[in-house]
C-alpha cells in the first residue's frame, strides 16, 4: 500500500472518497495517483516541481498539457492535481505493437513542441544551465547511480562521475535552441491512434537544444523496443531511422551521445 503524506485541505476536498490507482510506469521519485479524470502528483519541493507548475500555466492553450486543478506545497512536498489526459502512453503495449505508427507520432510530437515560440518562455534549460545543475547534483549526491546505463562507467567508458562531468563540461556542443520538453521519453507522450493527445512531466522543460529531446527520445525508444517490444538492435535501428526520416533531419551521433550522457547526472 502506498504511504501518502497528509494532503493539503484543498487537494483533499477534491479527492476524498474517490478511487485511485498508483502509476508505476514513470522512473521519477514522485508518487502519481490516477483518478478517473484527474491525476495527483506528489513529490519533494524542488526546482523541477516549480518549473512544472510554471510551465503548465505558460503552455495552456499552446500545447495539449494537463490543466492545473489545484497546486499546493506542504511539509516540504509539492502537490499538483491535474486533469487526466486522454489516450495512452507511447510505451503502452498497444503502442509498441504498432511501433511504426508510434514512431511517427513521436516525431509529430517533437515538431509540435519545437514550434512553440520561445519569446517570454520563463525557463532556460540549455547546456550551461544543465552543467551547473549537474555539478550541484554531484556535490549533493542528488542523482541515482542505480539508474545509470551499465556501459557508462566501465573500463571502456568513464572511470567515475568526476571524469564524466569533466568530459561534459569540456565538450559542450554548439546549441540549436528551441522550446524543449527536456525529458521526451515514451511514458511522457500520450497518443490516440496516430494523434498526439498530450504531454506530461514538464519539470525539465524550457529553452534548450532540440537534440536534448531527440537524444532522450532515441534512448527511450531503444529501451522500450528491446525490453518490451522484443526487437533486436538491427530492427530498433530501423525505427530510429524512421524517426529521423519523419523529422526530416540527419542524425547527429555526437549530440545524441552527449545528451544521453548528460542525462546520467539527473
Rounded Cα–Cα distance for residues 5 and 19 (Å): 17
CB 244 within 8 Å of CB 104? no
Tally DSSP H helices, then E strands, for the chain. 9, 10
What is the Cα–Cα distance from 155 to 2, expressed in whole angstroms? 40
Residues 152 and 146 sit within 8 Å (Cβ to Cβ)? no
Q: In sequence order, what E strands does the chain have?
A: 21-22, 31-34, 38-44, 68-74, 77-83, 88-89, 177-180, 189-192, 195-199, 206-209
CA distance 202 to 52: 5
Q: One of 144, 183, 252, 263 is an active-site residue; which one?
A: 183
Question: Burial, 191: exposed, middle or buried (Cβ in 10 Å; 0-12, 13-18, 19+)?
Answer: buried
183 given a catalytic annotation: yes
Q: Which residues are catalytic?
A: 183
Amino acid at each position: 500500500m502506498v504511504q501518502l503524506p497528509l494532503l493539503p485541505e484543498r487537494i483533499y476536498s477534491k479527492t476524498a472518497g474517490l478511487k485511485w490507482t498508483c502509476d508505476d510506469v514513470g522512473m521519477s521519485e514522485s508518487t502519481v495517483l490516477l483518478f478517473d479524470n484527474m491525476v495527483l502528483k506528489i513529490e519533494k519541493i524542488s526546482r523541477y516541481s516549480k518549473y512544472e507548475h510554471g510551465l503548465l500555466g505558460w503552455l495552456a492553450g499552446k500545447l495539449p498539457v494537463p490543466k492545473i486543478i489545484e497546486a499546493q506545497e506542504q511539509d516540504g512536498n509539492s502537490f499538483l492535481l491535474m486533469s487526466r489526459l486522454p489516450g495512452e502512453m507511447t510505451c503502452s503495449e498497444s503502442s509498441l505493437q504498432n511501433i511504426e505508427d508510434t514512431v511517427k507520432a513521436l516525431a509529430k510530437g517533437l515538431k509540435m513542441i519545437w514550434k512553440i515560440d520561445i519569446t517570454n518562455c520563463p525557463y532556460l534549460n540549455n547546456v550551461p544551465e544543465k552543467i551547473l545543475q549537474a555539478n550541484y547534483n554531484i556535490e549533493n549526491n542528488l542523482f541515482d547511480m542505480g539508474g545509470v546505463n551499465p556501459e557508462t562507467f566501465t573500463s571502456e567508458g568513464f572511470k567515475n562521475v568526476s571524469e564524466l562531468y569533466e568530459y561534459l563540461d569540456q565538450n559542450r556542443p554548439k546549441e540549436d535552441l528551441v522550446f524543449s520538453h527536456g525529458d521526451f521519453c515514451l511514458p511522457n507522450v500520450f497518443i490516440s491512434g496516430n494523434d498526439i493527445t498530450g504531454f506530461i512531466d514538464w519539470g525539465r522543460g524550457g529553452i534548450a537544444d532540440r537534440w536534448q529531446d531527440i537524444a532522450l527520445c532515441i534512448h527511450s525508444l531503444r529501451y522500450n523496443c528491446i525490453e518490451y517490444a522484443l526487437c533486436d538492435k538491427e530492427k530498433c535501428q530501423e525505427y530510429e531511422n524512421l524517426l529521423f526520416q519523419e523529422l526530416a533531419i540527419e542524425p547527429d551521433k555526437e549530440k545524441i551521445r552527449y545528451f544521453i550522457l548528460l542525462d546520467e547526472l539527473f
